[in-house]
């Protein structure tokens, strides 16, 4: 295998997930699960899914052999293994560039694997401890330390550059990170040879893993997708969305690729849906068609998806598991009639086109594909295979039996004209992720990602942090035995006149309660036969949510928790977009559970305007992308006052998630940008502004002795002090209270002596008209209209 020694990889050593499977088979070892997932970050700042497992195989580099080398399992580029800085330091690696050699300078390096059983076992335990210890506990790549030697790369201005390029023998080159990333993407996009990964036993089915076969137009079959409209209505032509040059290039490429495959063709239908792009988590854009209007008038197909409890009960006792992922699943289904094809028409700058295959985004697409999978595998279903959409899980009691079972399933896929994606398949494993759970030979357990939000909750550092944690836990007190006794040290911290001092007793209670919330009987597995409740909330900097279901007694139990910091640009969204973003993030995180549910998912939000979002005629471009994403789910937004939405709200108040005055936080910087920097202004205008600034400074010096009217700032502040609702809200904020009978305190803030609501100054009723008149009547306003006046006041 190809390995890269990378001194910039400060988070440990890593192995590609696909190669880890091969190593485990060859070495007859099993991955070790980490105590908690570890976040990783690439050299370019891109993030990857958290690392949950590691392996410690025998490593041989030339004559150098070591028996136990811990490697974190993740997704790499063209390299199978990356040996990081810690490994290089441990072995005293010296690079001999003259002779192209790697020298291991440390004397302790093992040149032969230990043959003594006891010694090997001891070493194994040491490596397991090393994986969980602090040295490799946070495998997040950090930027390399700054070199102290003079650097040959220097930032220069335009004038020196122009002078230097004229010198004799000067050469000029241009490079950008975009070019580097594009080349890296090309390398990573190289198709994997199935033969190099597929176990030898299944090589007779290599055609089932062919990408070329998956890119061919499938024939018409009994499972073709048919669209039935509930009412005879005209769809009409949707307007074209404005697109950037990059997006137009992607549209053209998408059309050319799918025309060559035969998946689409030109359309003359009198109606069409618009096209938009959704940003991928790892970067790049994904082509989407906004079928919201078509989905709204389509009769719903309530074909059932597999029941998790039944599936997991069948896996009990299995010793070997294989997971198969179907490639381009929906595109392997044809549209039934020409009329069905016409309904999928989408409109672009390059013309109108319609799908001949099932596209993504149609409301009944999941039901059609699930029906085809069930009928394809009906003979083996509930015996040794189960299928959930494009994910197949095969389970057996012995390796010999499992080999036969996998062959039987692959034969069915071949007959059905379905191809698998070898990069997403797992063979002969003892544990895998399926339907949002970790299933394996030792039974099933919760996916660590679902409870990571709670387990990573940092210890409170203030009274407000403690109140937020207690407020979250109080919803689950009925499920936790001796809750009051355990929580007492934390409750004592919140008592009046009590000095805040975080003790060992507080820390112990904090850890016990966190574990209790993330374990049975509090946390339950998802049940598709019951209604799901998503409680989503958003603050200035964090999106969060709780997925819950009721038990047989009507008591609400959590299924999963979610919390994520916003990127700097998201911090500038309007409050209703932030609330909607929280819902989007929750749906992305819990897609395996809530996609395709027969009963509408009840989304509980404290922002009333979101109830009308899906039917709003005029959407921003961002909202249109979100609407396309949400159209795949069966859900209903239900308004619930903020004081009743405490669980999700508490998750937005975890210590460490908020900038808390840190001006170096990117989210804080994004809100404090200069709209027009000086270099964007004409020199004469800069000079005029400087003169005006000096005049204003002189006026400010004379202000104490000049008889001026009270400023608008002072008038608002004085009015707030007289307004009963304002005074009550300010008092509650100063007392660190969480609830108010009048409004959601999560949206309120006291800043510089003024009360703010949703990051805007709260104007009491008594002075609203007077303030409007004062601003409107200024000569500089030029008698603005209603719309402009509202914008001026908002600023």
- pLDDT 10s digits, 743-757: 777 778 887 778 888
Rounded to an integer, the average pLDDT of 394-411 is: 94
| Domain 3-136: assigned CATH number | 2.40.70
- 749: helix, coil or strand? strand
pLDDT at residue 46 greater than cutoff 70? no
Least confident of 157-166, 218-227, 288-297, 614-623: 614-623
Kind of pairing between the strands at 285-289 and 32-41? unpaired
The pLDDT value given to residue 707: 33
Per-residue pLDDT tens for 416-451?
999 999 988 999 998 888 876 778 777 666 666 656
What percent of the chain shows pLDDT beyond 70? Answer: 69
**In angstroms, what is the C-alpha Rg of the chain?**
31
Kind of pairing between the strands at 346-348 and 351-355? antiparallel
| Nearest alpha carbon to residue 458 among 589, 563, 590, 578 | 563
Per-residue pLDDT tens for 549-566?
887 777 777 777 777 778
In the CATH scheme, what architecture does the domain 532-651 have?
2-Layer Sandwich (3.30)
Alpha helices per DSSP H over 189-230: 194-197, 211-214
Domain boundaries defined on the chain: 3-136, 448-517, 532-651, 709-794
Q: How confident is the prediction for the chain on average, in pLDDT?
A: 75
Percentages (nearest 5) of helix, strand, coil residues in the chain: 40, 20, 40
The pLDDT value given to residue 221: 93
Q: What is the DSSP letter of 223?
A: T
For the stretch 462-494, what's the b/e string if a residue is b when 16 or more beta carbons lie within 10 angstroms of its beta carbon? eeebbbbbbbbbebbeebbeebeebbebbeebe
Residue the block writes with tokens 């000067």? 170
In the CATH scheme, what architecture does the domain 448-517 have?
2-Layer Sandwich (3.30)
Give 398's contacts (C-beta < 8 A, 6+ positions apart): 319, 320
Yes or no: say if 525 and 309 are a contact pair by the CB < 8 Å rule.
Answer: yes
| Nearest alpha carbon to residue 580 among 528, 549, 620 | 620
Per-residue pLDDT tens for 692-706?
555 444 444 333 333
């Amino acid at each position: 295998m190809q390995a890269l020694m990378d001194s910039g990889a400060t988070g440990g050593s890593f192995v590609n997930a696909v190669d880890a499977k091969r190593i485990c088979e060859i070495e007859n070892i099993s991955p070790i699960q980490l105590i908690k997932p570890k976040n990783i970050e690439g050299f370019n700042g891109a993030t990857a899914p958290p690392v949950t497992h590691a392996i410690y195989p025998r490593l041989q580099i030339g004559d150098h052999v070591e028996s136990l080398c811990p490697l974190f399992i993740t997704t790499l580029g063209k390299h199978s293994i990356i040996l990081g800085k810690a490994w290089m330091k441990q072995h005293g690696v010296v690079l001999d560039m003259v002779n192209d050699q790697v020298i291991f300078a440390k004397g302790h390096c093992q040149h032969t694997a230990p043959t003594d059983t006891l010694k090997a076992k001891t070493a194994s335990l040491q490596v397991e401890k090393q994986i969980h210890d602090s040295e490799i506990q946070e495998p997040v790549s950090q930027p390399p330390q700054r070199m102290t030697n003079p650097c040959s790369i220097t930032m220069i201005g335009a004038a020196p550059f122009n002078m230097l390029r004229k010198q004799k023998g000067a050469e000029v080159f241009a490079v950008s990170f975009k070019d580097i990333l594009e080349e890296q993407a090309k390398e990573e996009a190289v198709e994997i040879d199935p033969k190099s990964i597929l176990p030898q036993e299944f090589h007779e089915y290599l055609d089932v893993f062919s990408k070329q076969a998956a890119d061919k137009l499938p024939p018409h079959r009994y499972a073709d997708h048919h669209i039935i409209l509930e009412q005879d209505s005209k769809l009409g032509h949707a307007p074209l969305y404005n697109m950037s040059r990059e997006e137009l290039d992607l549209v053209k490429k998408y059309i050319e690729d799918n025309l060559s495959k035969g998946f689409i063709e030109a359309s003359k239908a009198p109606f069409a849906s618009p096209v938009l792009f959704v940003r991928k988590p790892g970067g790049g854009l994904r082509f989407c068609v906004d079928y919201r209007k078509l989905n709204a008038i389509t009769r719903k197909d309530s074909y059932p998806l597999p029941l998790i409890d039944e599936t997991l009960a069948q896996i009990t006792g299995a010793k070997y598991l294989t997971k198969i992922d179907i490639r381009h699943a929906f595109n392997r289904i044809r549209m039934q009639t020409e009329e069905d094809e016409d309904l999928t028409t989408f409109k672009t700058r390059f013309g109108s086109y319609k799908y001949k295959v099932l596209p993504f985004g149609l409301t009944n697409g999941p039901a059609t594909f699930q029906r085809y999978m069930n009928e394809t595998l009906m003979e083996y279903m509930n015996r040794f295979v189960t299928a959930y959409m494009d994910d197949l899980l095969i389970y057996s009691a012995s390796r010999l039996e499992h080999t036969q079972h996998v062959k039987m399933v692959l034969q069915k896929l071949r007959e059905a004209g379905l191809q698998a994606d070898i990069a997403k398949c797992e063979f002969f494993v003892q544990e895998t992720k399926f339907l949002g759970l970790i299933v394996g030979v030792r039974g099933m357990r919760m996916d660590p990602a679902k409870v990571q939000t709670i387990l990573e909750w940092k210890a409170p550092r203030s009274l407000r942090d403690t109140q937020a944690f207690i407020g979250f836990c109080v919803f689950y007190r009925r499920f936790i035995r001796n809750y009051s006794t355990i929580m007492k040290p934390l409750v004592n911290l919140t008592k009046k006149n009590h000095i805040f001092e975080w003790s060992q007793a507080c820390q112990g209670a904090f850890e016990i309660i966190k574990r209790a919330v993330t374990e049975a009987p509090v946390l339950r597995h998802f049940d598709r036969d019951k209604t799901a409740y998503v409680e989503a909330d958003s603050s200035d900097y964090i999106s969060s949510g709780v997925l819950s279901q009721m038990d047989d007694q009507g008591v609400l139990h959590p299924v999963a928790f979610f919390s994520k910091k916003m990127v700097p640009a998201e911090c500038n969204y309007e409050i209703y977009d932030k609330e909607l973003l929280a819902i989007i993030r929750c749906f992305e995180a819990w897609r395996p559970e809530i996609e395709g549910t027969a009963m509408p998912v009840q989304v509980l939000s404290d922002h009333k305007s979101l109830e009308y979002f899906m039917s709003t005629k005029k959407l921003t471009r961002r909202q249109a992308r979100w609407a396309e994403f949400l159209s795949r789910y069966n859900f209903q937004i239900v308004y619930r006052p903020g004081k009743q939405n405490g669980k999700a709200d508490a998750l937005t108040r975890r210590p460490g998630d908020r900038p808390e005055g840190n001006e170096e936080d990117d989210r804080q910087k994004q809100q404090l940008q200069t709209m027009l920097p000086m270099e964007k202004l004409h020199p004469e205008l800069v000079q005029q502004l400087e003169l005006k600034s000096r005049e204003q400074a002189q006026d400010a010096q004379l202000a104490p002795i000049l008889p001026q009217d009270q400023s608008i700032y002072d008038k608002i502040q004085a009015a707030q002090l007289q307004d009963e609702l304002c005074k009550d809200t300010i008092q509650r904020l100063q007392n660190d209270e969480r609830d108010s009978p009048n409004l959601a305190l999560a949206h309120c803030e006291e800043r510089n002596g003024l009360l703010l609501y949703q990051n805007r100054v709260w104007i009491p009723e008594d002075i609203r008209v007077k303030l409007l008149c004062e601003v409107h009547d200024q000569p500089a306003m030029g008698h603005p209209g209603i719309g402009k006046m509202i914008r001026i006041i908002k600023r």
